[in-house]
Amino acid sequence: MNALNLEVLDRDGAILETAEDAGATRADLIKRAGIATVGFTAAGAMFNSLLSPAAAAISTKKSAKNDVKILNYALTLEYLEAEFYKAALATSFIAGANAWLKDFTTTVAKHEADHVKLLKSVLGKAAVKKPSFDFSAALTDEKTFMATAQVLEDTGVAAYAGQGPNISQKAVVVAALGIHSVEARHAAWIRFLNADSPAPGITDSPKREATVLSAVADTGFIQS
């Protein structure tokens, strides 16, 4: 899967064209959303703006350009997860945690960082930039971290499932499904550590882009 790159996906040049169309700076995007200062009264709009023109407003109409939007949507969620676990590894409660939780945090931190690398390699110049995050409210103690991790992993699984039907290119489907299955393993793992059911049902309900963006914005994790 690591062999995937922009040339493989962009045989008709659509991704490069979209990258050129997405040349606005982060400041331009925030200004476009009507947000003068960082704050979360307009968090949903801000989160959409951070995804840039290359990722916002995913369509159900399949196309190579739409695949770029889906991949950048996934990349932003992976940025969030990767930075969350990276920050968790620096906390004293993870340093003093039991071996099971340490193993989970260390392993998943690496997986999420690798997901970011994979998606960026696929997107090339079309990849959105990483936002800045503040996870202080979620990293106060072990219990809060574990509860937040479960919410993030469950949301990630549902987000990938929600976009599967909208992907047009086989190579993108392969990349997305490969990540989705690993995210599902993460979700089951943290659910087990939280003494929750690793597989609460025979199927999982997918979540639409708007639902996921709203949920992430409500966390207050994304700062700019």
8 Å CB contact between 168 and 162: no
Q: Specify the pTM.
A: 0.75
Residue closest to 131 by CA, chosen among 76, 185, 179 = 76
Which of 29-38, 84-93, 118-127, 134-143 has the weakest average pLDDT?
Answer: 29-38
Residue ranges of domains in the chain: 6-219
For residue 224, give every residue at least 6 positions away whose Cβ sits within 8 Å of its Cβ, in sequence order, or none.
26, 30, 38, 50, 131, 132
122-173: pLDDT as tens digits? 999 999 999 999 999 999 999 999 999 999 999 999 999 999 999 999 889 9
Average pLDDT of the chain, as a whole number = 80
**Degrees (nearest 5) of the Cα angle 10, 14, 20?**
110
**Residue-level pLDDT at 43:** 36
**Residue-level pLDDT at 22:** 42
8 Å CB contact between 4 and 115: no
69-82: pLDDT as tens digits? 999 999 999 999 99
Q: Does the pLDDT of residue 50 top 80, yes or no?
A: no
**Residue-level pLDDT at 14:** 45
- The token pair at 35 is 């947000």
Residue closest to 128 by CA, chosen among 21, 4, 11, 1 = 21
179-200: pLDDT as tens digits? 999 999 999 999 999 999 999 9
Using pLDDT thresholds of 50, 70 and 90, give the confidence band for residue 56: low
DSSP character for 61?
Answer: S
Fold of the 6-219 domain: Ferritin (1.20.1260)
8 Å CB contact between 187 and 200: no
